Amino acid sequence: MKIRAVTVGLDLPVPHVTTSVFDEVASFLRDATQAFSQAGLEVQTTRIAGADLGQTIDALGDGLKPWAAETEHATREAGIDYLSIGRIPARQHAIVRDVVAPLLSAGTVVNVSADLLEGGLPSIAMAAACATAVKHLAHSTDQGFGNLRFAATASCPPNIPFLPAAYHVGGAPRFAIAVQAADVAVAALSGTGGMSDIEDRLVDAFETAVEPLEASALQLEAESGYPFVGVDLSPAPFPSDDAAIGAAIEAAGVERFGAPGSLYVAAMLTRAIRRTRIRRSGFSGLMLPVLEDSVLARRMGECPSRVHELLLYSAVCGTGLDTVPLAEDISESELAGIYLDVA
């Protein structure tokens, strides 16, 4: 297991980008990286996330894009790896339609998300706006990878440490931790010989792996004054079979991911994560990011029409569609339909 990210949520300075804010957070992130390293935990990236963007957009008007560029520059100058400027409310769908693609195309580490829900219901206008932005990013960024820095979300809480969905609850800075822990699930389920006790095995494995991390985070909270929100236990994979969540599902006794039993194991993985006696934050569910998981990528290659099958698993695992490859010629109306289904 590795720490995918230590993410600090904070109120980003608006309209003037005050570099001292970023320097202070960067100092904390350096201390955090050192503390976790001393506990034997590798920190892969450091990140920051701003709050809901509604009031910021109202205040900046046409100045959102240059403000984002200046904020990204301050982030990089401070030595912080990635930035989410926050979440765009559904009522501001025109910003997503017209500004998000140029904003992300102009940057390299800036992320942003859009809220698909308005008044608790899916927004048709926001779904359409997200589809437009994604199509533009597919052509305006190298191999379409700008889309990895944009997320259309629904019912996502604040303080998620994974980008691009991350946004700050508002108020004083606080930190959360994202883990690359699919290897923990693979090890726990390999050689089990059946599905009867997989949930208990997973609970024990996750608690054993994460407890030293939690102890270090709580000590860091006490020493720094930065509140520790929790660990997002969603077991992010790495593109090798020994760290692939698809491999974990197959190790549990499923013939291949997508075969009968896959949905059951997906649900058990999520139940196990949520049974752990760890301070949790964010998604804390099963993540199925196809482009980051060698086994899921192979299975999608064998049957590329599985997008809605993945959405079925998402209904029981707490996360939606993530890094799913789609045909270049997919229409905006098809994309909008997928977003409405996710919402």
Which CATH number do you get for residue 296? 3.20.70.20
Contacts of 288 (CB under 8 A, 6+ apart): 245, 246, 266, 296, 310, 313, 314, 317, 319, 321, 322
pLDDT tens string 12-22: 999 999 999 99
| Per-residue pLDDT tens digits for 66-119 | 999 999 999 999 999 999 999 999 999 999 999 999 999 999 999 999 999 999
Mean predicted lDDT score pLDDT of the chain: 94
Chain centroid to CA 167 = 10
pLDDT tens digits, 270-298: 999 999 999 999 999 888 999 999 999 99
Q: Please count the structural domains in the chain.
A: 1
- What are the pLDDT digits (tens) for 174-217? 999 999 999 999 999 987 666 778 899 999 999 999 999 999 99
Query: Which pLDDT score is estimated for 193?
Result: 60
pLDDT > 90: what percent of the chain? 83
Q: Can you tell me the distance from the alpha carbon of 266 to that of 249, in angstroms, rounded to the nearest whole number?
A: 7
- Structural domain including 45 reads 1-343
What's the pLDDT band for 314 if we cut at 50, 70, 90? confident
Could you tell me which of 231, 235, 209 has the C-alpha nearest to residue 221? 231
Q: Give the angle subtended at the CA of 200 by the CAs of 199 and 206, to the nearest 5°.
A: 90
Segment 233-267, tens digit of pLDDT: 999 998 889 999 999 999 998 999 989 999 999 99
Q: Residue 68 and residue 73: Cα distance in Å, rounded?
A: 9
